[in-house]
């Protein structure tokens, strides 16, 4: 009986009176999100053109990267004294 009265009047009372339980607040249910089907962004010819451009850019990137990599490998071997004499 004493413990019940202590909890009712003690530090476990809702001090601000917001109505939430003292051990936490209830988690509201997740909202229901209804998705609508969207029309495709690009037509098939546009999509094909975009993919071709992307492929071209990727190929150029990799080609440039290979060139830089071989340049720096040659520079590194030159610095270490392992260069090829032509």
Q: In the predicted model, what is the mean pLDDT of residues 59-77?
A: 90
CA distance between the termini of the chain = 100
Model pTM? 0.41
- The per-residue pLDDT for 15 is 57
The tally of CA atoms less than 13 A away on the side-chain side of residue 33 is 3
**Cα–chain center distance at 45:** 30
- The per-residue pLDDT for 76 is 87
**pLDDT for 17-39, tens place per residue?**
555 555 666 667 788 888 877 77
From residue 39, give the alpha-carbon distance in Å to each of 36, 62, 68, 71: 10, 34, 43, 48
């Amino acid at each position: 009986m004493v413990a019940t009265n202590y909890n009712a009047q003690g530090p476990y009372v809702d001090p601000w009176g917001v109505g939430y339980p003292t051990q936490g607040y209830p988690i509201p249910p997740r909202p229901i999100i209804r998705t609508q089907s969207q029309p495709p962004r690009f037509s098939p010819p546009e999509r094909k053109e975009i993919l071709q451009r992307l492929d071209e850019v990727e190929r150029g990137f990799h080609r440039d990267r290979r060139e830089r990599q071989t340049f720096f490998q040659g520079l590194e071997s030159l610095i270490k004294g392992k260069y090829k004499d032509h």
